Chains A and B, each alone.
Chain A
Amino acid sequence: NAGVTQTPKFRILKIGQSMTLQCTQDMNHNYMYWYRQDPGMGLKLIYYSVGAGITDKGEVPNGYNVSRSTTEDFPLRLELAAPSQTSVYFCASSRTSGTRYSYNEQFFGPGTRLTVL
């Protein structure tokens, strides 16, 4: 298994440009997540998905969009890039069964380092 893969690894955007960060997992996990990591701030949840066709906002969704057409893929779209979106973006996935003790490990991709100038 490749686990969680993310592309690209690095990207520089100009203000106002758009791009899609790709995320794919091959573990048949139902939950997928997008986080951003800023220095000294830990991880902030942008969007998450509980399964194909279902997405929901996290803590910091403004300026981003997501879709989940398949179990495997969970792309993150930036429509009008702004300097405030300079960050490292992580995609993660987990399997949950809906019961009290079904919190399971989140598996993370290697991240995408995005700079907006």
Chain B
Amino acid sequence: AQSVTQPDIHITVSEGASLELRCNYSYGATPYLFWYVQSPGQGLQLLLKYFSGDTLVQGIKGFEAEFKRSQSSFNLRKPSVHWSDAAEYFCAVGADSNYQLIWGAGTKLIIKP
């Protein structure tokens, strides 16, 4: 069965520092992979997605993610975080057979001034 694991419940990063949020998935075929962000009190917004091709994907707000098939990972990165990046980040994987997404539990990003 498909699953998504985000090992870090919370991550605290200083403003201006680099960020990496981890995501591991379990899926037999080539996965469809997504990162969404949820700001406090808001709905979710797509940051980026991977379907095929170049394994380094660029997204909005300066985020990027790298698909590594050998590690079953799709980690999200940003070279320098801003206070406005404080939010919860969700990784999701999609199935071939339908258009449902399987979601990770989320990682809450806290920014230290």
Count A-B contacts at CB 8 Å: 53
Residue interface mask A75-117, B partner, CB < 8 A = 1: 0000000000000001010101000111101101111000000
**A66 interface residue (CB < 8 Å to B):** no
Residue interface mask A33-52, B partner, CB < 8 A = 1: 10000001111110010100
Q: Which residue of B lies closest to A91 (CB)?
A: B43
**A61 interface residue (CB < 8 Å to B):** no
**A31 interface residue (CB < 8 Å to B):** yes
- Which among A31, A58, A103, A109 is the interface contact of B43 at CB below 8 angstroms? A109
Which of A101, A106, A110 gathers most chain B CB within 10 Å?
A106
Sort A-B residue pairs by CB-CB distance and give the 9 closest, nearest first.
Answer: A108-B43, A42-B103, A43-B103, A42-B105, A105-B46, A108-B44, A103-B32, A110-B43, A96-B99
Residues of B near any A CB (own CB < 8 A): 4, 9, 32, 41-46, 49, 51-52, 90, 94, 96, 99-101, 103-106
Task: Kindly list 7 other residue pairs between chains A and B, CB separation below 8 angstroms, not including A48-B99, A58-B100, A92-B44.
Answer: A4-B43, A90-B44, A105-B46, A106-B44, A106-B46, A108-B43, A108-B45
